[in-house]
C-alpha cells in the first residue's frame, strides 16, 4: 500500500547556505532542490548502512518502480492560524483564469512564484480562479490589503526567512595576501521562550513510498537525522545547514491534495525531473505542456571535481501525463576507467519525479 510522509527540517537559529549553479558565495537560495537533497541523503545513508546502499541505488536504476520518490524542499511557516505550506505556482493558468490581456492584476499575479497549499488546492483542484481573486489582486496592485488571498498568506512568502551577508577573509597559502569577500546566509523565522527555541518557519518536503516499507523508512529517517547533524548545503565548516527532523504522516489538509481523483487532466511537478527516453518525452511534451528547464551541476563532495552537467525539468512544470524520471549517471571523465568502469564508484543525480494531479486552463 502506498504511503505519504511529510518531513519538516527545522533549522531554528542555525544559518544555511544553499548555492545554485552560476551564483557566487554572495547569493543563496531559500530552499534545496530534490536532486541535491537526494544526493546528500544517500551519502548519509551510505555512511550508516554501507552494506545496504548499493542495493538501494540499484533499485532506483532498474526499470521497476523506485523504492521512494521525494519532492524538492519548500517553505513552511507557522502562524496563529496554523501552518502555511508553500508550493511553486504551476506554469499553467488555473481554471477560470480570465482570458485576453487582463493586465489590471497580472503584475501582482506573476510575482506569486509560490502559493499557499489552500490557494493552490482551490485554484487547481477546486473551483478555480474567481472574480473575487481578480478583484483582490487588482486591489493589491494598487496597495490595498485584506481579502481571502491575504488571509491565507499568499503575499507573505518572504516573511518566513531573511538573507544576510557576512564578511569573510581569504588568505592566500603562498603569498599570505588577504582578500575580503562576503557570504550570504539564510535565516528562518524562530523565537525563544526561556531556553526553548521554536522554529516558526523552515523547509519541508514530501516523501512517497509506492509500497509501505517500515524497515527502509526507519533507515531513511536515521540517515536524515545524521544529515541534520552534519548540515545541508554549503558552509558546513562554519556550522551552517544543521537542522532537526520532524517526520510525520501526511497531515489531514494534504490528504485530498495528494489523493486527487484520477479524472484530473494534468500532472504538476513538485520535484526536478529528468528523462532521456524519446517515446516518453513525446508523450510529455505537447501543446498541453508548460515547463522550464534548468541546468544542474555542482562539485563532488570532498573533491575539486565537478559532476557532469545535466538539464532537468523544474518544479511547477505541467504535463498531460504523469512523469516518472530516473537517476542520471553524472560521473565525470576523471573518475572513469578506459574499460568503462569507475575508479571509485558511479556518481548519480536524481531525476526521479514526484508530481500532483491538477486541473489547469486549456489542459
How far apart CA 171 and CA 205 sit, in angstroms, is 39
How far apart CA 16 and CA 215 sit, in angstroms, is 31
How far apart CA 241 and CA 160 sit, in angstroms, is 16
| 54, 203: one domain | yes
Residues contacting 14, CB < 8 A, separation 6+: 239, 240, 241, 242, 243
| 161, 207: one domain | yes
| 219, 267: one domain | no
Q: Is 291 a domain residue?
A: yes
- Give whole-number Cα distances, 27 to 23, 44, 108, 112, 355, in Å: 6, 26, 25, 21, 29
| 210, 339: one domain | no
How big is the CA angle at 321 (ends 311 and 325), to the nearest 5 degrees?
35
Tens digit of each residue's pLDDT (9 = 90 or more) over 286-316? 989 999 999 887 666 655 666 677 899 999 9
- Residue 97 is placed in which grid cell? 483564469
How far apart CA 37 and CA 223 sit, in angstroms, is 12
How far apart CA 314 and CA 300 sit, in angstroms, is 22
Tens digit of each residue's pLDDT (9 = 90 or more) over 203-223? 999 999 988 889 999 999 999
| 222, 339: one domain | no
Number of domains in the chain: 2
Query: Could you list the residue range(s) of the whole structural domain that residue 222 is in?
Result: 3-95+155-173+178-254
User: How many of the other CB atoms lie within 10 Å of CB of 308?
Assistant: 14
| 194, 282: one domain | no
Q: Which residues of the chain have pLDDT under 70?
A: 21-26, 62-63, 100-102, 264, 298-307, 332-345, 363
Report residue 107 CA to chain centroid gap.
25
How far apart CA 343 and CA 335 sit, in angstroms, is 5
The residue to which cell 588568505 is assigned = 171
Q: Is 24 a domain residue?
A: yes
- Residue 133 is placed in which grid cell? 481573486
Q: What is the pLDDT of residue 59?
A: 82
DSSP 233: S
Choose the final residue of a domain: 228, 254, 280: 254
| 55, 159: one domain | yes
| 12, 63: one domain | yes
Q: What is the pLDDT of residue 132?
A: 93
Choose the final residue of a domain: 254, 283, 315: 254
Q: Crossing angle, helix 34-48 and helix 214-230, to 10 degrees?
A: 100
Q: What is the pLDDT of residue 265?
A: 80
Q: Is 100 a domain residue?
A: no
Collapsing DSSP to helix, strand or coil, 98 comes out as: coil
| 202, 302: one domain | no
Q: Is 292 a domain residue?
A: yes
How far apart CA 28 and CA 163 sit, in angstroms, is 8
Amino acid at each position: 500500500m502506498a504511503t505519504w510522509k511529510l518531513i519538516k527540517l527545522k533549522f531554528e537559529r542555525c544559518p544555511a547556505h544553499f548555492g545554485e549553479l552560476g551564483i557566487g558565495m554572495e547569493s543563496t537560495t531559500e530552499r534545496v532542490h530534490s536532486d541535491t537533497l537526494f544526493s546528500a541523503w544517500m551519502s548519509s545513508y551510505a555512511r550508516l548502512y554501507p552494506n545496504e546502499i548499493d542495493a538501494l541505488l540499484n533499485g532506483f536504476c532498474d526499470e521497476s518502480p523506485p523504492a521512494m520518490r521525494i519532492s524538492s524542499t519548500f517553505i513552511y511557516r507557522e502562524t496563529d492560524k496554523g501552518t502555511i505550506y508553500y508550493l511553486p505556482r504551476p506554469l499553467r493558468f488555473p481554471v477560470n483564469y480570465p482570458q485576453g490581456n487582463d493586465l489590471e492584476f497580472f503584475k501582482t499575479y506573476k510575482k506569486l512564484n509560490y502559493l499557499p497549499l489552500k490557494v493552490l488546492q482551490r485554484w487547481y483542484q477546486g473551483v478555480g480562479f474567481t472574480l473575487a481573486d481578480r478583484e483582490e489582486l487588482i486591489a493589491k496592485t494598487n496597495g490595498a490589503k485584506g481579502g481571502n488571498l491575504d488571509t491565507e498568506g499568499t503575499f507573505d512568502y518572504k516573511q518566513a526567512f531573511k538573507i544576510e551577508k557576512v564578511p569573510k577573509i581569504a588568505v592566500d597559502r603562498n603569498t599570505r595576501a588577504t582578500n575580503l569577500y562576503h557570504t550570504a546566509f539564510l535565516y528562518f523565522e524562530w523565537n525563544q521562550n526561556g531556553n526553548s527555541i521554536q522554529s516558526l518557519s523552515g523547509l519541508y518536503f514530501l516523501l512517497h513510498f509506492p509500497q509501505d516499507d517500515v524497515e527502509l523508512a526507519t533507515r531513511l529517517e536515521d540517515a536524515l537525522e545524521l544529515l541534520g547533524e552534519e548540515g545541508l548545503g554549503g558552509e558546513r565548516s562554519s556550522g551552517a545547514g544543521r537542522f532537526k527532523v520532524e517526520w510525520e504522516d501526511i497531515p489531514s489538509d494534504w490528504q485530498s491534495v495528494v489523493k486527487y481523483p484520477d479524472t484530473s487532466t494534468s500532472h504538476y511537478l513538485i520535484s526536478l525531473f529528468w528523462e532521456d527516453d524519446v517515446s516518453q518525452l513525446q508523450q510529455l511534451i505537447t501543446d498541453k505542456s508548460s515547463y522550464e528547464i534548468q541546468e544542474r551541476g555542482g562539485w563532488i563532495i570532498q573533491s575539486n571535481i565537478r559532476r557532469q552537467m545535466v538539464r532537468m525539468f523544474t518544479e511547477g512544470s505541467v504535463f498531460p501525463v504523469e512523469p516518472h524520471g530516473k537517476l542520471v549517471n553524472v560521473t565525470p571523465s576523471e573518475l572513469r576507467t578506459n574499460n568503462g568502469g569507475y575508479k571509485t564508484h558511479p556518481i548519480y543525480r536524481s531525476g526521479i519525479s514526484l508530481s500532483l494531479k491538477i486541473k489547469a486552463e486549456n489542459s
